[in-house]
Homo-oligomer: A and B are copies of this chain.
Amino acid sequence: MVALEPLAEKVRALNRFDMGNFVALMDGERSLGAVHEDVARELLAYPEAVAVDLGRREVRLRPGSAEERTERFAAMAAGMHEAGLVPGWRDELFAAQRGFGTEPVFLIERAAVPVFGLRGYGVHCNGLVRQPDGSHKLWVARRAKDKATYPGKLDHIVAGGQPAGIGLMENVIKECGEEAGIPPELARQCARPAGMVSYRMELPDKKQLKRDVLFCYDLELPEDFVPTAVDGEVESFELWDMDDVMHAVAHTDDFKPNVGLVLIDMFVRRGYVTPDQPGYIALVKSLRALDCA
């Protein structure tokens, strides 16, 4: 059992932003995202893709088909990358959507998603092993030291962004195989959806806004199954007592931050924190201030 205030602080750290620094990214009357005002100023160089109105604090998409807009954003993202406004490059296309499961408004290089404050979606799996008393241990992954993001941090047994065009469970099963060597039939049998969390975080040094919806899955694995790092993104897997997981989430920065959020949700759902502890209602509220669609 840990005190709830350090957990609440981790949730707050994932929800720090000053929307006064951002202008809206609009498609007609619909808001799709948000762009830092300094970045918006640079977007004046791409009039074929967007109309920048700093007075009204808006960046408006030019009309066009999804294909046309995808082309314009590809050119814009490439130019911004060269100018240092899109740090990193993943070579992976992401769908900008009005809401989860709706038709893409355009596709865009993944690294540019938080530059435009677009909502991202992912799946996160708690790898659990049931103990005789009904409680669980958790499989903890350590990220490879050469990963571009959060090298060496602790992670879920399986987690990944949601690509367009496949189902969430399909993605879970695919990532289970790629990241932890879990055979598809075992993944299908063990993985159960368990809700969702979301967060919105300003990355001030990058002038980005990260807005993620994470679909949570509990993966209750058989006692004799041992995950194996398949794709080189994970250095090792270890089976942890939940008390140690809770302590690390609450009192260290060892876990990748958004993994902590999914774990805190799991602590609530599975009773590792209890409503008799001071601050429970505030913690649950903070977890559930869902910025999502």
Contacts and interface: CB of A to CB of B under 8 A. Distances in A.
A118 B89 CA distance: 54
B270 A192 contact: yes
Interface in A242-291: 268-271, 273-276, 278, 280-281, 284-285, 288, 290
What is the total number of copies of this protein in its complex?
2
A193 B275 contact: yes
A87 interface: no
B195 A284 contact: yes
A94 interface: no
Contact of A281 (B169, B278, B288, B293): B293
Interface in A192-218: 192-196, 213, 215, 217-218
A218 B271 contact: yes
A101 B278 contact: yes
B194 A271 contact: yes
A214 B192 CA distance: 24
A169 B293 CA distance: 35
Given A192-B270, A269-B194, A269-B195, A275 B134 contact: no
A99 to B, nearest CB: 8
B281 A213 contact: yes
Nearest to A162: B275
B276 A168 contact: yes
A104 to B, nearest CB: 17
Contacts of A215: 275
Given A276-B167, A288-B290, A220 B268 contact: no
Given A169-B276, A276-B168, A290-B284, A271 B192 contact: yes
Interface string A212-248: 0101011010000000000000000000000000000
Given A167-B276, A281-B213, A281-B292, A195 B268 contact: yes
A71 to B, nearest CB: 30
A100 interface: yes
Interface string A133-176: 01000000000000000000000000000000001110000000
Nearest to A220: B134
Interface of A: 99-101, 134, 167-169, 192-196, 213, 215, 217-218, 220, 268-271, 273-276, 278, 280-281, 284-285, 288, 290, 292-293
Given A168-B275, A196-B284, 20 more contacts: A99-B281, A168-B276, A169-B274, A192-B271, A193-B268, A193-B271, A193-B274, A193-B275, A194-B268, A194-B269, A194-B270, A194-B271, A195-B269, A196-B275, A213-B281, A218-B271, A281-B292, A284-B290, A285-B290, A285-B292
